[in-house]
Amino acid sequence: MNKISDKAFFRIAMIVGIVVFLLVVLLNKRVLNPPSDFPDFIYKLPLLHAIINGTCAILLVLSLRAIKAKKIDTHKALNLTAFGLSALFLISYVVYHFFVPETTYGGTGIMRYAYYIILITHIVLAAIVLPMILLSFWYALNQKIAKHRKIVRFTFPIWLYVAVTGVLVYVMISPYYSF
């Protein structure tokens, strides 16, 4: 029997979401001082992030198709894989931003506005969706399927949007990397 209540896990999920968000803010503000020397593979991480985001988007769509076809085991496997990749992304993202300063978008005109709209919505929704993902998994893993379905109605489209816009942000910013 599970010893953690839904309410307690909700608090845990919110704390994790807030801590991750604050860590990302600190990294982008360069509050933490990285060493001046670091391995070259760090510069390849943005491409890895785009690949992970694209893969997660595909897995999420396949997961939706699987559950609609009542292939529950496939649905679970796809979601666990997407979750694992998202965790890998988060770790890699933190490592990258610890070492490398933020790149400024150099586009102009309508593309500049489009980039910042995509980026800002991506960041805001990424912060919001993390606790939702954790709760979605919590309910599913604890066989609370009605609660799982209820929250996934919101979690799925936001997570998918974050994954797709992660790729778009990379494609749009990559010409402006200085490495």
In a domain, 111, yes or no: yes
The amino acid present at 49, given as its one-letter code, is H
Contact (CB, 8 A) for 172 and 115: yes
Instruction: Say whether pLDDT at 90 is over 60.
Output: yes
- The reply to whether 161 falls in a domain is yes
Nearest CA to 83 among 108, 111, 55?
55
Helical segments of the chain, H only:
6-28, 45-68, 72-99, 109-141, 145-173
Q: How far apart are CA 18 and CA 23, in angstroms?
A: 9
Of the CA atoms within 13 Å of residue 145, those in its CB half-sphere come to 4
Q: Is residue 22 part of a domain?
A: no
- Domain ranges, residue 94: 39-176
For 51-82, the pLDDT digits (tens) are 999 999 999 999 999 999 999 999 999 999 99
Does residue 27 belong to any structural domain of this protein?
A: no
Q: What confidence score (pLDDT) does residue 31 get?
A: 60
Q: What does pTM read for this prediction?
A: 0.90
| Total number of domains constituting the chain | 1
pLDDT above 80 for 140? yes
- Residue 47 located in a structural domain: yes
Range from 34-38, 155-159, 174-178 carrying the lowest mean pLDDT: 34-38
The two tokens of residue 71 are: 């292939």
Predicted pLDDT at 165: 98
Q: Is residue 45 part of a domain?
A: yes
The pLDDT assigned to 33 comes to 67
Would residue 7 count as lying in a domain? no
pLDDT tens string 1-53: 468 899 999 999 999 999 988 887 877 776 666 677 888 899 999 999 999 99
Asked, for residue 19, whether it belongs to a domain, the answer is: no
